[in-house]
Structure 1
Amino acid sequence: MSAAHDHGHSHGHSHAPASFNRAFAIGIALNLAFVAIEAWYGWKVNSLALLADAGHNLSDVAGLVLAWGGALAGRLRPNARHTYGWQRASILAAFFNALLLLMAMGSLAWEAVGRLGTPEATEGWTIIAVAGVGIAVNTATALLFMRGRKGDLNVRGAFLHMAADALVSLGVVMGGALYLWQGWAWIDPVMSLAIAVVIVLGTWSLFRQSLHLLFDGVPERVDLAAVRALLMALPGVADVHDLHVWAMGTSDTALTAHLVLADPAADADALMHEAEHELHEHFEIRHVTLQLESPGFALQCRLRAGAGCS
């Protein structure tokens, strides 16, 4: 029986290039300043819609920080104590950010429902002016990431998030205009409820995905059945078992698998090269570890109960 071959390869992580450090810094600074302005005026004119949008824009800051942090964490080299580095910190941060934001929006929605029964007057022009600044800030931030949105998942997420938030600020402007036009005092809590719903819908996906990844779930962009089919289709591969795919962080995916060779004398290097290339091209999986086995060894591996082979 031929000996099993174990190959482990680590490649570059999918993170924002250094040229986007300035874009992240400017975007975070702009949005933090706007959050402070919007929260102050929301409190001053008693506008829940402005306060809701301030909460939304604070989540944008957190999202930008997470994206930037993920890019920087990908550059931290693994060591003897942390052999994968610190990439999982980005998943933890995303989870806790989503959890806190869901709680905040629940509290805001409760307050908004209470105000529907006793609507209070607000200042329409102030709401329009402040939310108008929000449109400008979110649009400007989105433009900072426009050129990199097709080549990097982190940058693309930042771009889409900021572009969507420009539309949310537009909704607040519309609410202020309706208040000035019709004098509907109830429009402010209604708009704040609508914004809270938008935030919860967006945040729920982040919460669900981050929780899934925390428990080593297969990333949503990876079809495990398709990965297995790809490995089975490699020349000289008779079977695949002990296949695992998980997220090392929010931007890097790892894979381990046992490949059973029909011919133990096959060219292992050529097979490894093709497997890594195909997994990278089709699934953006860069951290690949494959064990090549003879049919006899594979049979023993499968029968070894509790040994982690399946």
Structure 2
Amino acid sequence: MHDHGHEHEHRPGGHDHIPKNERAIAIAAGLTGAFMLAEVVGGVISGSLALLADAGHMLTDFASLMLAWFAFRLARRPADWKRTYGYDRFSVLAAFVNGLTLFVIAGWIFWEAIQRLLDPVEVLGGLMLWVALIGLLVNIAAFYVLTRGESENLNVRAAALHVAGDLLGSVAALAASLIIIWTGWMPIDPILSVLVAAIILRSAWAVVRESGHILLEGAPREFDRREVVQTLGEEVEGVTEVSHVHAWQVTQERPMATLEVVAEAGSDKDAVRREVKRLLKERFGMDHATVEVR
């Protein structure tokens, strides 16, 4: 006879923190979208390619933020017979896609910078200064809204990284506009753009690596199967063998594990199971574990 221990705490409609994150993403998307339109107008009036190019960057960010917002909306839907884990994993997929788009953006910035170094583009420093200053304020507001929420959520982190890239871009544009106004040296614009692109790439890799790890059913960071087997074997009375240990994450906030434990003859299997689950939760952060005792 097998003794299965399940602790299901899935709440229909998602988790308590999702509405706050969803609202933060919506506000950030609204700010980004509004400034993107203003930047297009400024670019057309001034004839500045730099401003129009940054508006294109903002358009990509706006699309990514809307994707993140949609992921949260979808994750609120309850689980059904086809999707027993619900739709939470979509937010991880959205983070993965957003991370990949950051690579594309960085690549585009590198390419554009090379073109401008080879063939310098005249930039109107005065108008660039004001647009960059407004953009900096808008991005600071959006970044603040995103980072005061659930910072461990991959979807929010990916969205925040997009906004951080824009924020750095605004700082670079501000610095470049001042140098252009004071010295007339145009190459500073592509040079600072390359610096921003390098920072974006570093952040993008972190998001893609972590979200890809979850999509590939990788174990949570704090969960080492070898350590789990050793700990349970040494610290749980009555355990003679631990096998078939599997751990994964639906999202980074929902780690799960399954394992099989062989108990000594005559031992209390319920007590063994409870102690195994307690150790998994307290020592390895595993709130949801399915333990089979035989």
Aligned to 1:242: 244
Contact 1:16 1:154 in 2 (8 A): no
In 1: Cα distance, 2:160 partner to 2:196 partner? 17
SS in 2 for 1:36: helix
**TM-score, normalised via structure 1 length:** 0.76
Q: Structure 1 residues 80, 123: closer, same or farther in 2, change over 3 A?
A: same
1:183-222 maps to which residues of 2 (within 5 A)? 183-220=184-221, 222=223
In 1: Cα distance, 2:98 partner to 2:217 partner? 19
In 2: Cα distance, 1:128 partner to 1:11 partner? 52
What amino acid is aligned across from residue 249 of structure 1 in structure 2? T
- Which piece of structure 1 moves more, 192-201 or 166-175? 166-175
2:26 is equivalent to residue 25 of structure 1: yes
Q: CA-to-partner distance for each residue in 1:151-176, whole Å, 9 max, x for gaps?
A: x6459737964567544422321122
- Which runs of 5 or more residues in structure 1 are unaligned? 294-310
Q: Structure 1 residues 141, 7: closer, same or farther in 2, change over 3 A?
A: same
Aligned to 2:50: 47
Q: Structure 1 residues 153, 16: closer, same or farther in 2, change over 3 A?
A: same
2:5 to 7, 12, 29: 7
Aligned to 1:121: 122
Aligned to 2:267: 265
Deviation at 1:184, TM superposition (A): 1.1
Aligned to 1:157: 157
In 2: Cα distance, 1:263 partner to 1:71 partner? 48
Contact 1:5 1:291 in 2 (8 A): yes
Contact 2:238 2:267 in 1 (8 A): no
Aligned to 1:303: none
What amino acid is aligned across from residue 194 of structure 2 in structure 1? L
**TM-score, normalised via structure 2 length:** 0.80
In 1: Cα distance, 2:16 partner to 2:222 partner? 16
- Which runs of 5 or more residues in structure 2 are unaligned? none
In 1: Cα distance, 2:183 partner to 2:209 partner? 40
Deviation at 1:186, TM superposition (A): 0.7
What amino acid is aligned across from residue 46 of structure 1 in structure 2? L
When the two chains are superposed, the root-mean-square deviation of aligned CA atoms in Å is: 3.3
In 2: Cα distance, 1:72 partner to 1:108 partner? 32
Q: Structure 1 residues 80, 124: closer, same or farther in 2, change over 3 A?
A: same
What amino acid is aligned across from residue 5 of structure 1 in structure 2? D
What amino acid is aligned across from residue 140 of structure 2 in structure 1? T
Contact 1:243 1:257 in 2 (8 A): yes
Q: CA-to-partner distance for each residue in 1:172-193, whole Å, 9 max, x for gaps?
A: 2112212222211111111222
What amino acid is aligned across from residue 291 of structure 2 in structure 1? L
Deviation at 1:37, TM superposition (A): 3.0
In 2: Cα distance, 1:52 partner to 1:26 partner? 20
In 1: Cα distance, 2:147 partner to 2:20 partner? 13
- Which piece of structure 1 moves more, 39-48 or 121-130? 39-48
Deviation at 1:220, TM superposition (A): 3.6
In 1: Cα distance, 2:154 partner to 2:16 partner? 6
In 1: Cα distance, 2:54 partner to 2:144 partner? 24
Deviation at 1:138, TM superposition (A): 2.5
2:254 is equivalent to residue 255 of structure 1: no
What amino acid is aligned across from residue 157 of structure 1 in structure 2? R
SS in 2 for 1:125: helix
Contact 1:237 1:259 in 2 (8 A): yes
SS in 1 for 2:203: helix
Q: CA-to-partner distance for each residue in 1:19-56, whole Å, 9 max, x for gaps?
A: 444333222211222233335545741117x7358626
Contact 1:213 1:246 in 2 (8 A): yes
Deviation at 1:290, TM superposition (A): 1.4
What amino acid is aligned across from residue 45 of structure 1 in structure 2? S
Q: Structure 1 residues 83, 159: closer, same or farther in 2, change over 3 A?
A: closer
Aligned to 1:100: 101
In 1: Cα distance, 2:150 partner to 2:103 partner? 27
SS in 2 for 1:80: coil
What amino acid is aligned across from residue 35 of structure 1 in structure 2? M
SS in 2 for 1:258: strand
Q: Structure 1 residues 130, 251: closer, same or farther in 2, change over 3 A?
A: farther
SS in 2 for 1:18: helix
Q: Structure 1 residues 4, 71: closer, same or farther in 2, change over 3 A?
A: same
In 2: Cα distance, 1:60 partner to 1:273 partner? 48
Q: Structure 1 residues 20, 120: closer, same or farther in 2, change over 3 A?
A: closer
Equivalent pairs, count: 287
